[in-house]
Amino acid sequence: MKRVVITGLGAITPLGNHVNDFWQNIIAGKNGVGPITKFDTDKFKTKFACEVKDFDAEAYMDKKELRKFDLFTQYAIASTDQAIQDAGLDFAGMNDDQLAEVGVIWATGNGGIGTFEAQLEEFHAGDGTPRFSPFFIPKMIVDIAAGAISIRHKLRGPNYCTVSACASSNTAIISAFDTIRLGKANIMIAGGSEAALTKSSVGGFNAAQALSKRNDDPETASRPFDAERDGFVMGEGAGALILEDLEHALQRGATIYAEIIGGGMAGDAYHLTGTPPNGIGAVLGMKKALSDAGISADKIDYINAHATSTGLGDLSELTAINAIFGDLPVAIGASKSQTGHLLGAAGAVESIISILSIRDGIIPGVINTTKLDEKIPAGLNIILGKSVKQEINYVLNNTFGFGGHTASTIFKKYEA
DSSP 374-401: TTSPTT-EE-BSS-EE---SEEEEEEEE
Residue 93 has pLDDT above 90, yes or no: yes
218 and 278 belong to one structural domain: no
Q: What is the mean pLDDT of residues 293-321?
A: 98
Q: What is the mean pLDDT of residues 75-92?
A: 98
Residue 338 has pLDDT above 90, yes or no: yes
Q: What pLDDT score does 163 carry?
A: 98
344: Cα within 13 Å, side-chain hemisphere: 31
**Where does the pLDDT of residue 410 fall: very low under 50, low under 70, confident under 90, or very high at 90 and above?**
very high
Percent of the chain clearing pLDDT 70 (strictly above): 100
CB-based contact 318:143 (threshold 8 Å): no
337 and 373 belong to one structural domain: yes
Residues 408, 41: Cα–Cα separation, whole Å: 35
Q: What pLDDT score does 327 carry?
A: 87
61 and 141 belong to one structural domain: yes
Task: Single out the catalytic residue among 50, 161, 341, 405.
Answer: 341
The b/e string for 304-314 (b: 16+ C-beta within 10 A; e otherwise) is bbbbbbbeebb
Asked if residue 197 is part of any domain, the answer here is yes
Residue 183 has pLDDT above 90, yes or no: yes
214 and 84 belong to one structural domain: yes
Asked if residue 260 is part of any domain, the answer here is no
Q: What pLDDT score does 44 carry?
A: 98
Asked if residue 256 is part of any domain, the answer here is no
64 and 198 belong to one structural domain: yes
215 and 322 belong to one structural domain: no
Residue 253: how many other CB atoms lie within 10 Å? 7
* Average model confidence (pLDDT) across the chain: 97
Picking from 189, 224, 251, the residue at the C-terminal end of a domain is 251
Phi, psi values for residue 322, rounded to 5° = -65, -35
Q: What pLDDT score does 306 carry?
A: 98
Per-residue DSSP letters for 227-292? Answer: TT---B-BB-EEEEEEEEEHHHHHHTT----EEEEEEEEEE--S-SS---TT-HHHHHHHHHHHHH
For residue 155, the cross-strand partners are none
DSSP 91: G
Residue 70: how many other CB atoms lie within 10 Å? 27
Asked if residue 87 is part of any domain, the answer here is yes
Phi, psi values for residue 168, rounded to 5° = -60, -50
228 and 346 belong to one structural domain: no
CATH of the domain at 118: 3.40.47.10
Phi-psi region at 143: left, alpha or beta (left = phi > 0; alpha = psi -120 to 50):
alpha
Which residue in 389, 364, 305 sits closest to 29, CA to CA?
Answer: 364
Picking from 251, 280, 299, the residue at the C-terminal end of a domain is 251
Asked if residue 180 is part of any domain, the answer here is yes
Which residue in 313, 295, 297 sits closest to 305, CA to CA?
Answer: 313
> pLDDT tens digits, residue range 375-391?
999 999 999 999 999 99
Asked if residue 143 is part of any domain, the answer here is yes
Residue 166 designated active-site: yes
Q: What is the mean pLDDT of residues 356-363?
A: 98
244 and 324 belong to one structural domain: no
**Where does the pLDDT of residue 416 fall: very low under 50, low under 70, confident under 90, or very high at 90 and above?**
confident
Q: What pLDDT score does 184 carry?
A: 98
302 and 344 belong to one structural domain: yes
Residue 360: how many other CB atoms lie within 10 Å? 13
Residue 405 designated active-site: no
234 and 318 belong to one structural domain: no
How many domains are contained in the chain? 2
93 and 134 belong to one structural domain: yes
Picking from 251, 278, 297, the residue at the C-terminal end of a domain is 251
Residue 161 designated active-site: no
Residues 22, 15: Cα–Cα separation, whole Å: 5
Distance (Å) of CA 97 to CA 8, 177, 225, 249, 266: 22, 21, 50, 17, 35
Q: What is the mean pLDDT of residues 210-223?
A: 98
Range of the domain at 351: 266-405
Asked if residue 149 is part of any domain, the answer here is yes
**Where does the pLDDT of residue 343 fall: very low under 50, low under 70, confident under 90, or very high at 90 and above?**
very high
Residue 235 has pLDDT above 90, yes or no: yes
Q: What is the mean pLDDT of residues 116-124?
A: 95
Task: Single out the catalytic residue among 50, 161, 306, 405.
Answer: 306
Residues 194, 343: Cα–Cα separation, whole Å: 7
88 and 215 belong to one structural domain: yes
Residues 190, 260: Cα–Cα separation, whole Å: 13
Task: Single out the catalytic residue among 166, 248, 271, 405.
Answer: 166
Q: What pLDDT score does 179 carry?
A: 98
Q: What is the mean pLDDT of residues 132-146?
A: 97
Asked if residue 295 is part of any domain, the answer here is yes
For residue 102, the cross-strand partners are 187
CB-based contact 240:348 (threshold 8 Å): yes
